[in-house]
Copies of this chain bind each other. A is one copy, B any other.
């Protein structure tokens, strides 16, 4: 059960559309609107949603925040301002992890965002289980509504997928076996020797170490080794 996004009194239909787009980016589907000022199905809103108009068409409208959260088990309030309320404040990634845990226990969760200009009212914040604070430059933390939805949604999305860690993308080729890299290094060293000008003694040792480091550090692929053979042979033609 994915968490829903609750926009409390959003002012501009365009922002609602962009929020829908951000939701779609993050795999979120359910949008609830509390007293939107403008029509969330206006041409402007649909255009701003990019291809996320389905979220707008399915959005539910409520006349109060308490109605909008009535069926939920857990609610977070996003706010950039400090509130004089006794409430757990968590970062977006912590909230995302908590939601991720809660939904596996079949809890229905929601994330509230306030009106563009003022943010959530204190009466709305006190209905939430926690406050979400997105860590941003304190001197300039005003975010567009859709960007706030995007950042919180992004943190949630990261908890829902298995993310492939940093890796060398090799496509149709594979990282070369060490033997092949050394064969190339030997080939290059032999050719340098043939040219007569290769360094001697200690300098030669050092140069060989350097070359082997260059060709080892970059995790060469088989295809790239072939390219390098071609380069050496082409240079030798002269």
Contact = CB atoms under 8 A, between A and B. Distances in A.
Interface of A: 18, 22, 24-27, 50-52, 83-91, 94, 130-131, 134-137, 140-144, 146-147, 150-151, 154, 157-158, 161, 163-173, 221, 223-224
Which 4 pairs from chain A and chain B are nearest by CB?
A: A90-B166, A24-B140, A27-B137, A89-B169
Contacts of A130: 166
18 contacts: A25-B143, A51-B142, A85-B169, A86-B168, A86-B170, A86-B171, A86-B221, A88-B169, A90-B165, A91-B165, A94-B165, A130-B166, A135-B157, A135-B163, A136-B154, A146-B147, A147-B150, A150-B150
Most chain B beta-carbon neighbours within 10 Å: one of A18, A136, A143: A136
Copies, count: 2
Nearest to A223: B86
A223 B84 CA distance: 13
A220 to B, nearest CB: 9
Contacts of A150: 147, 150-151
A86 B173 contact: yes
Nearest to A142: B50
Given A26-B137, A51-B142, A130-B166, 15 more contacts: A24-B140, A25-B142, A27-B137, A50-B140, A86-B224, A87-B168, A88-B166, A88-B168, A89-B166, A90-B167, A94-B165, A131-B169, A150-B150, A151-B151, A151-B154
Contacts of A147: 22, 25, 146-147, 150
